[in-house]
Amino acid sequence: MKRTIFWRISLIILPIVLLINAALLVLAYQMAFTRTYNTCVERLTNSADMIEEMLEFFDENEIESAEEFDTLLNHYCEQLDIPYIYVFRLDPEKSTIRYLSIGFGKEATEEGRKELYTGKEMQITVSEELKNAYYEKSIHTFEKVQNRFGEDLICYTAIRKSYDTENEKNKDVKRSPVMLGMDLSLSAVMGEIRSDFFRIAILMVGLSFTIVLLFGLIFYYMVSRPAHRISQRMSSFVEDYGDIFVPISVKGHDEFAEMSRSFNTMAENIHSYLSSIEKLTREQHTKNAELCIAGDIQLGFLRSPHYEAETFRIDAQMRPAKDVGGDLYDYQVMGDGRIAFAVADVSGKGISASLFMSRAVTLLQMYARLNYSPARILKEFNDTLSENNPEGLFITTFVAVYDPETQELIYSNGGHNTPYVVSDQLIPLDGARGMAAGIFPGEDYEEAVIRLKEGDWVFLYTDGVNEAMNTAGELYSTGRLEKKLAECIETKSVPMRAVLDDVTAFAGDAEQSDDITVMSLQILKSREKEEKQEVETVLRLKAENEELPKIKEAIRSLPVEKAVQKKLYLVAEEIFINICSYAYEDEGEAELKIRMKDKLEMVFVDEGKKFDPTENVTTLDEYDYENGVGGLGRFLVLNMADKCQYEYKDGKNILRLEFKLSEN
């Protein structure tokens, strides 16, 4: 793990935090704008209602001629804090308005005071909101307009009621409406909100940077620095293994604490073995001592050769050679019930290969505990081994993860021998190939997946199997291995035991030149099988031999084993040819029905001459082998079928044959 990883994480989180803050600010601004706009509408509505009640007591001429009415509107502008309140008359046909009275508030501009005055008539564009107010489609209408002074919100109200003072009673009078208008500056109101939001945005950006920085520091001290310290110690361990070992300090119970404990255990074991080497060197030859200790190291790091769960079983075996190599196998049961397992082979011999192997198995265990996928395990595994490899060693590795829930095996291969799935047929696991680990850092590895079923075996091995030699110098070979695994399918043998026995018999008295390591995963239990669906096929055929391909095609489409299909076709061919040859003197027809569920039934129906094929059947003893007289066709049919029944009904020959759905 590189030092800069916490910066990368921080740079990823920072834009996310800023985007979230921006989204929250936009949402809050929209809510504030809507709330402010609704407040302005409510304010204008209440003001319009109040002024409308006052206007009902004035005649249009009184409004225009009374100077005190302008003073009254000015008073309302001051009290209601509205820049402009005006009474006007609208002519929608001519698109003109005439101001009858105008009041100005504190926020009214000087230009507005000069341009608007009582009695002024001007041409305008009549908006839909103004028309709705004029024709009383709504009591109050509101319009947002943009002018040189900014954005304004205008409220329009039509005044149609007045008092009939002559009769001294209240009644409606049909007359041209007097319109009431009020302007409120949205720009001024929203300007304050925008200013506040700008300050809030600056504060949130600063807070975001602070949070990301704090997160980065926490990530650095809790993740990046511990991981870097562990990686540094692992990288330098092979170089300074002769020095006094200083274990990594361990605190807590998290993943890094477990990794540190695993490393300390590995280092302590290796130092213990190295101390033993120094002691043995004084008593015997150095090379023999190294090989002996290296063999102990290999065996000490390997897990138990057997592990069994409810749904699968792991078996493994390693036969060390005289010259110690670097074969290894490993498996790790994950917390969610999946199992990760691997087989690997280190290049070279002796103590260096053994040390490299011990480091490799520790890394595989560590990355499996982190729940990495097979491809990622190989990638991290390769990068770590490549960082510090003074001897230039490499290791071929096959890693797989089996999930009992989905019955899927996900695997990745780093230059190792191709394993096999021993199922109904022999399936090579060659869907994901890659480079051996420890040579070039930065390599990417492929993954492939295969679904397994109950009774399947996954067989893994090292090149000590296919490269095993006999006394004549001949190799066991991959071809012989595949042949032996294929025999296991037929004989239902245990693949690992059969292969080891065959390699031993092949090698004979020849000295073993390389470690032999094999490993197998057996699927003990699978999901419940789906209920079989009923299949029915009906063929109506001319009683001619040329119709046989139709029968063959129908049988080939049945979901049964190929051996069963062959048997069914032999029977169908014999019966149909007899119908074609003997049932009719001229042309005729035949019907074949095939039904299949728990068993398979074939029914032949024809309207030819009455003939019972179950009677007078030629047996093997009666057959004339010399002249070929008295065919054995019906005898074979009756022996191949599990049940045979004939009846003649309604002028039809009906022959029913029943068969099992498998060979056994």
pTM of structure:
0.41
pLDDT score at 204: 75
Q: Does residue 625 sit in helix, strand or coil? A: coil
| Lowest mean per-residue pLDDT among 52-61, 312-321, 338-347, 526-535 | 526-535
User: What is the C-alpha to C-alpha distance for residues 556 and 550, in angstroms, rounded to an integer?
Assistant: 10
* Beta-strand relationship, 312-319 and 516-523: antiparallel
User: What is the C-alpha to C-alpha distance for residues 380 and 363, in angstroms, rounded to an integer?
Assistant: 9
Are 301 and 361 a contacting pair, CB within 8 Å?
yes
pLDDT band for position 530 (50/70/90)? Answer: very low
Residue 337 DSSP class: S
pLDDT score at 30: 80
| Lowest mean per-residue pLDDT among 25-39, 120-134, 339-353 | 25-39
User: What is the C-alpha to C-alpha distance for residues 621 and 311, in angstroms, rounded to an integer?
Assistant: 53
Please give the structure tokens belonging to residue 524: 């003990």
Residue 509 DSSP class: T
β-bridge mates for residue 312, sequence order: 523
Q: Does residue 462 sit in helix, strand or coil? A: coil
The three-state (H, E, C) secondary structure of 99-139, written as one string: EEEEEECCCCCHHHHHHCCCCCEEECCCCHHHHHHHCCCCC
Q: How far is residue 524 from each of residues 420, 452, 455, measured CA to CA in Å?
A: 17, 11, 6
Residue with tokens 């929209």: 30
β-bridge mates for residue 184, sequence order: 153
pLDDT score at 282: 63
pLDDT band for position 66 (50/70/90)? Answer: low
Are 273 and 281 a contacting pair, CB within 8 Å?
no
User: What is the C-alpha to C-alpha distance for residues 147 and 140, in angstroms, rounded to an integer?
Assistant: 22
- State what percent of residues in the chain have pLDDT above 70: 79
User: What is the C-alpha to C-alpha distance for residues 244 and 642, in angstroms, rounded to an integer?
Assistant: 79
β-bridge mates for residue 306, sequence order: 315
pLDDT score at 165: 41
As separate numbers, helices (DSSP H) first and strands (DSSP E) second, the chain gives 17, 24
Are 396 and 415 a contacting pair, CB within 8 Å?
yes
Are 454 and 523 a contacting pair, CB within 8 Å?
yes
pLDDT in tens, 329-380: 999 988 778 999 999 999 877 777 777 888 888 899 889 888 899 999 999 9
pLDDT score at 166: 45
pLDDT in tens, 482-502: 999 999 999 999 999 999 999
Q: Does residue 606 sit in helix, strand or coil? A: strand
pLDDT score at 529: 46
- Report whether pLDDT(134) > 90: no
| Lowest mean per-residue pLDDT among 335-349, 397-411, 474-488 | 335-349
